């Protein structure tokens, strides 16, 4: 998959139709097929019974219509000669003295297969069993249709050099065990549904839920094409749904109730689907249990390949994959904050700790950790004075962060302690013979370890434990001092990425329960991220800015999500980042920080191998106890070379 990173371009088409006018309908489909060919789509899918229109009713019993439908498919076969685009259309098929509702799969003049509908709709004003017979009730095998011998069956997968796909029709998706489930167990990565659902209030949302859940459960892409304008409105209206889901996520959709033909093109990430399946042992075991020999297989030798050099992605690439959009962001913040607080509360109960000790710097991470401590106290009905907040001014502490730290502790009503570290560090520098004017790693890490020693000893004094503040992004980069801020008794932020910390603190600032510290919280959110281990500039401002040293956290979180959650290699991550951050970062800048990420991710594993406990809040975690297990001396050469490759 190196050439195209596993991307496959597909199209879902919604043509205008005329009821029982096969010649007109064919021409409408040909126009959309031509557009799909121009887009270099590998597959284009049309709605259920698109050759005749879905609402022909008793006309499906007329030989005239059935012959016209077969002739239209024959003409479509002739048109398709010489093209590699796979075309899936809906058509009635006569077989064994019955009429079947089928999907015809066509490529380069060949009828590759006929897939019949299993579950006929008999509600919502539909009586499909009046005209059609379930494919399960007729003998399967090879039949002659549109002048060609082909396979007719209920379940069939089509294997191409790049991907495997299957087809189901309409209400097959609504059944307790949709045919697509078994198709996915036999390797189908993309499911095409030829649909004809009529419009009802609330029904579209339900269909989207069905398609999204089927896509998520099967770790598959689900492409749905529904009947639209031109269908009979005698009793129903058809919205023309066009939907594409991947692993439960909506990638693309058409405009409902459009009076114009629509072609929706997007790319399916088959590599991502395979990675998800490979990592999900439930899927693997289900494939063994539910594997059936009743699924026919058809090999397709050629396919239109997506070119990463010639084509741009139509699908969205989220620059902030950890940050949900819209109203979901508030729900996610509420949920994660609750998880953090409950995890900490349980640890306090279990250890019978009388206090929670935390270092307060006036920065984002310690602020979030302190807020979690306050929430845990409220849940346990412990006085907030049980929290011992320690501010430890050092060589790089600025007035802004120091003031915010004090205001935050006062506003939350916790126990405050101030223990400066300058004299202790100077004594330590003298003891080890370090020149205080040399601001190197020894200078910086000595301060971090001094602070951790103070916190541990204060915890002993107060019969409590130290609450860690480090976040997921820092753990990925190893941006922590070993046995300094790296260590605690419980790390509440351990699986919260830096980009989300900012959103979470902002959300908490808006909650009524924390209005007393709102102004301090919002100023902390606006403060540049810094460990403050280097003296401030002449104006007293922060001189040591983390993102100038290790790179923008939005880039690193993007790299982390795609590496850890989706298991992509650096070359594909670079390709995706180029789309996600177009106009914001140049390719050279992205590549530079990607190389930094890969280098640090492998070099700093030893810090993650001995992490304190901490609650998992999302799908990504670097806990060595289950989520991420890697030898501390694993070589990152392959990843670094790929990150550097232009």
At residue 182, what are phi and psi to the nearest 5 degrees?
-70, -35
Tokens of residue 242, six digits: 């066009």
Of 566 and 538, the structure prediction assigns the larger pLDDT to 566
For the chain, domains (ranges, CATH) are 7-299 (3.60.110.10), 327-644 (3.40.50.620)
* Residues above pLDDT 90, as percent of the chain: 88
Tokens 């399916």, residue? 268
- With a cut of 50, say whether residue 178 has pLDDT above it: yes
- The mean pLDDT of 489-502, rounded to a whole number, is 97
pLDDT level of residue 544 (50, 70, 90 thresholds): confident
* Contact partners, residue 235, CB within 8 Å, separation at least 6: 125
**What CA dihedral angle connects 528, 532, 535 and 536, to 10 degrees?**
20
Tokens of residue 629, six digits: 């297990």
Tokens of residue 46, six digits: 């049309």
Going by C-alpha positions, the residue among 7, 559, 596 that lies closest to residue 319 is 559
- The mean pLDDT of 202-229, rounded to a whole number, is 96
pLDDT level of residue 125 (50, 70, 90 thresholds): low
Q: What is the pLDDT of residues 278-316, one digit of tens each?
A: 988 888 888 777 766 688 999 999 999 999 887 889 999
- The mean pLDDT of 596-602, rounded to a whole number, is 97
How far, in Å, are 2, 157, 258, 410 from residue 151 at the CA level?
Answer: 34, 11, 35, 76
Strands across the sheet containing 164-169: 249-253, 242-246, 221-226, 190-195, 164-169, 156-159, 296-299
Q: What is the pLDDT of residue 190?
A: 98
* Residues above pLDDT 70, as percent of the chain: 98
DSSP structure string for 537-571: -TTS-----HHHHT--HHHHHHHHIIIIIS---HH
Question: Do residues 265 and 9 make contact, with C-beta atoms less than 8 angstroms apart?
Answer: yes
Q: What is the pLDDT of residue 539?
A: 76
Going by C-alpha positions, the residue among 190, 196, 236 that lies closest to residue 47 is 196
- The mean pLDDT of 574-594, rounded to a whole number, is 96
Return d(Cα 161, Cα 4) in angstroms, integer.
13
Return d(Cα 461, Cα 11) in angstroms, integer.
66
* Contact partners, residue 562, CB within 8 Å, separation at least 6: 321, 568, 572, 573, 576
Coil/strand/helix, residue 174: helix
Return d(Cα 398, Cα 388) in angstroms, integer.
22
pLDDT level of residue 123 (50, 70, 90 thresholds): low
Question: Do residues 152 and 95 make contact, with C-beta atoms less than 8 angstroms apart?
Answer: yes
């Amino acid at each position: 998959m190196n050439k195209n990173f596993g991307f496959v371009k597909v199209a879902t088409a919604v043509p205008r139709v005329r009821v029982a006018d096969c010649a007109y309908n064919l021409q409408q489909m040909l126009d959309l097929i031509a557009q799909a060919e121009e887009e270099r789509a590998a597959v284009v899918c049309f709605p259920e019974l698109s050759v005749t229109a879905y609402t022909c009713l008793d006309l499906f019993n007329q030989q005239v219509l059935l012959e016209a439908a077969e002739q239209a498919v024959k003409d479509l076969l002739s048109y398709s000669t010489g093209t590699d685009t796979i075309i899936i259309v809906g058509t009635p098929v006569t077989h064994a003295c019955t009429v079947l509702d089928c999907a015809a799969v066509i490529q380069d003049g060949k009828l590759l297969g006929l897939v019949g509908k299993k579950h006929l709709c008999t509600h919502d004003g539909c009586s499909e069993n009046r005209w059609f017979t379930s494919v399960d009730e007729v003998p399967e095998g090879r039949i002659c249709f549109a002048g060609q011998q082909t396979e007719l069956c209920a379940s069939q997968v089509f294997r191409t050099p790049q991907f495997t796909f299957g087809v189901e029709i309409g209400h097959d998706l609504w059944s307790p065990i949709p045919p697509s489930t078994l198709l996915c167990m036999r390797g189908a990565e993309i499911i095409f549904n030829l649909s004809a659902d009529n419009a009802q209030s609330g029904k579209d949302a339900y269909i989207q839920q069905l398609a999204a859940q089927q896509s998520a459960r099967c770790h598959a892409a689900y492409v749905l094409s529904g009947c639209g304008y031109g269908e009979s409105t005698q009793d129903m209206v058809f919205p023309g749904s066009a939907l594409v889901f991947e692993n439960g996520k909506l990638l693309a959709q058409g405009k409902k109730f459009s009076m114009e033909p629509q072609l929706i093109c997007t790319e399916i990430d088959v590599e991502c689907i395979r990675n998800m399946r490979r990592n999900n042992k439930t899927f693997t075991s289900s494939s063994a249990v539910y594997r059936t020999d009743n699924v026919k297989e058809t090999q397709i030798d050629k396919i239109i390949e997506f070119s990463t050099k010639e084509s741009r992605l139509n699908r969205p690439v989220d620059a902030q994959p950890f940050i949900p959009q819209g109203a979901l962001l508030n729900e996610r913040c509420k949920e994660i904050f609750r998880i953090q607080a409950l995890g900490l509360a349980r640890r306090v109960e279990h250890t019978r700790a009388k206090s929670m000790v935390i270092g307060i710097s006036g920065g984002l991470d310690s602020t979030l950790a302190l807020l979690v401590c306050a929430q845990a106290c409220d849940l346990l009905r412990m006085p907030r004075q049980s929290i011992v907040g320690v501010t430890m001014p050092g060589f790089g502490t600025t007035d802004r962060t120091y003031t915010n730290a004090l205001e935050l502790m006062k506003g939350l009503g916790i126990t405050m302690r101030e223990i400066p570290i300058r004299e202790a560090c100077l004594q330590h520098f003298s003891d080890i013979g370090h020149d205080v004017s040399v601001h190197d790693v020894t200078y910086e890490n000595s301060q971090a370890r001094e602070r951790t020693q103070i916190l541990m000893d204060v915890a002993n004094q107060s019969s409590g434990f130290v609450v860690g503040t480090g976040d997921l992004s820092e753990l990925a980069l190893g941006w922590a001092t070993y046995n300094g801020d790296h260590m605690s008794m419980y790390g509440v932020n351990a699986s919260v990425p830096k980009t989300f910390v900012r959103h979470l603190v902002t959300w908490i600032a808006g909650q009524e329960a924390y209005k007393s510290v709102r102004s301090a919280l919002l100023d902390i959110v606006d403060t540049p991220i810094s460990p403050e281990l280097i003296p401030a500039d002449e104006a007293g401002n922060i001189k040591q800015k983390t993102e100038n040293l290790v790179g923008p956290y939005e880039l690193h979180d993007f790299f982390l999500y795609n590496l850890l959650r989706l298991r992509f290699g650096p070359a594909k991550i670079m390709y995706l980042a180029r789309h996600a951050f177009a106009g914001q970062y140049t390719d050279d800048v992205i590549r530079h920080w990607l190389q930094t990420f890969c280098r640090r991710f492998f070099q700093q594993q030893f810090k993650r191998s001995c992490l304190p406990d901490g609650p998992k809040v999302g799908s990504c975690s670097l806990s060595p106890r289950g989520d991420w297990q890697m030898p501390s001396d694993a070589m990152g050469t392959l990843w670094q070379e790929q990150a550097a490759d232009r």
